[in-house]
Amino acid sequence: MNHRIASAITFTSTVAVATVAAALLSSNAFADDITIDTTPFVSTKSRAEVRAEVTGQRDQVTAYGGEWAGQQNEQHAFQSAFTVEQVRSEYKAARNEVRMMNGEDSGSSFIAQQRGAQTDTIVARSAN
């Protein structure tokens, strides 16, 4: 008998909580409605004052425009400080290092060799 009473109380309380939650969640939602502001806009500056202010900050305006242009997919002319021969010689010099770093051990033996050849003094201190 006690089992039935406990079960009935549990069921009744669950239904009551669900009913209250449904009542609270069923209110109107206006998240997609636009807000219509009926207060009139009154400018504190004239058109000429705003134009003078913008032209006075020309460097900032062009910086913002450059930021926008940099985010677009525009092609820019590439200007390098290196000659073709310099780039080729650097590539050839780095081939062995790239091969070692892309090896089976992910470059750990190459890094160990480089650390052994290091002549700088390394000082370590405790984290305390």
Residues 55-65 pLDDT 10s: 887 777 777 66
- Of the two residues 107 and 125, the one the predictor is more confident about is 107
- On whether the CB atoms of residues 107 and 100 are closer than 8 A, the answer is yes
Mean pLDDT, rounded, for 2-18: 83
Phi, psi of 113 (to 5 degrees): -65, -40
Which amino acid makes up residue 73?
N
Mean pLDDT, rounded, for 17-31: 75
- Planar angle of CA 117, 125, 110, nearest 5 degrees: 25
- On whether the CB atoms of residues 114 and 107 are closer than 8 A, the answer is no
- Taken in order 110, 112, 115, 116, is the CA torsion positive or negative? negative
Q: Which two tokens stand for residue 34?
A: 């636009």
Q: Convert 56-66 to b/e letters by CB count within 10 Å (16 or more is b).
A: eeeeeeeeeee
Percent of the chain with pLDDT over 90: 7
Q: Is the pLDDT of residue 99 over 60?
A: yes
Q: Is the pLDDT of residue 34 over 80?
A: no
Enter the pTM of the model. Answer: 0.27
In this prediction, residue 86 has a pLDDT band, given cuts at 50, 70 and 90, of very high
Mean pLDDT, rounded, for 75-89: 84
Region of residue 33 (left: phi > 0; alpha: psi -120 to 50; beta: else)? beta
